[in-house]
Amino acid sequence: MRALLQRVTEGSVTVDGTVIGEIGQGLVILICAMQGDTQAEADKLAAKIAKLRIFADEAGKMNRSVLDIGGSALVVSQFTLAADTRRGNRPGFSTAAPPAEGEALYLYFADQLAEQGVPVAKGQFAADMKVALVNDGPITIWMDTDD
- Whether the predicted pLDDT of 147 surpasses 90: no
Q: What is the 3-state secondary structure (H, E, C) of the chain?
A: CEEEEEEEEEEEEEECCEEEEEECCEEEEEEECECCCCHHHHHHHHHHHHHCCCEECCCCCEEECCCCCCCEEEEEECHHHHCECCCCCCCECCCECCHHHHHHHHHHHHHHHHHCCCCEEECCCCCCEEEEEEEEEEEEEEEECCC
* Active-site annotation holds for 80: yes
Catalytic member of 78, 109, 112, 116: 78
Across the range 28-32, mean pLDDT stands at 98
| Percent of the chain scoring above 70 in pLDDT | 100
Catalytic member of 35, 80, 93, 140: 80
Question: Could you read off the pLDDT of 63-81 as tens digits, one per residue?
Answer: 999 999 999 999 999 999 9
What's the confidence (pLDDT) of residue 7?
98
- Whether the predicted pLDDT of 62 surpasses 90: yes
The superfamily (CATH) of domain 2-144 is D-tyrosyl-tRNA(Tyr) deacylase (3.50.80.10)
* Active-site annotation holds for 78: yes
- Whether the predicted pLDDT of 45 surpasses 90: yes
Question: Could you read off the pLDDT of 77-125 as tens digits, one per residue?
Answer: 999 999 999 999 999 999 999 999 999 999 999 999 999 999 999 999 9
Catalytic member of 79, 109, 112, 116: 79
Domain boundaries, the chain: 2-144
